[in-house]
């Protein structure tokens, strides 16, 4: 019945957190694998796409290449301050 390798149709998980903290991996067949960073506010932002499931080294390289805009930095700092006040 299954003579070929099984191809998952949906995948959503945390990326390797030791090299890409706060990131996740997503794939919906037949599209590419997506490595996305979850900012403190807002939806995840794609930082890299791959035709095959990325390795830990690929995730690390993509994470190291992230450049946050001034607006993203300000938003994250604001959310951290607000959360600090609520504690």
Residue range 18-77, pLDDT digits in tens:
999 989 999 999 999 999 998 877 788 899 999 999 999 999 999 999 887 777 767 766
What does each C-alpha distance from 75 to 46, 58, 71, 78 come to in angstroms?
Answer: 18, 27, 6, 5
Q: Is 61 exposed, middle or buried (0-12, 13-18, 19+ CB in 10 A)?
A: middle
Q: CA-CA distance, 68 to 53, in Å (whole number)? A: 25
pTM flag (> 0.85) = no
Reported as a pLDDT band with limits 50, 70 and 90, residue 5 is confident
At residue 14, does pLDDT exceed 90?
A: yes
Predicted local distance difference test score (pLDDT) of residue 27 = 96
């Amino acid at each position: 019945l299954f003579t070929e390798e099984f191809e998952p149709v949906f995948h959503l998980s945390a990326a390797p957190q030791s090299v890409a903290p706060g990131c996740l991996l997503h794939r919906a067949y037949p599209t590419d694998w997506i490595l996305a960073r979850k900012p403190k506010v807002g939806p995840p932002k794609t930082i890299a796409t791959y035709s095959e499931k990325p390795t830990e080294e690929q995730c690390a390289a993509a994470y190291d290449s992230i450049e946050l805009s001034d607006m993203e930095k300000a938003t994250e700092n604001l959310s951290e301050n607000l959360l600090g006040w609520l504690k």
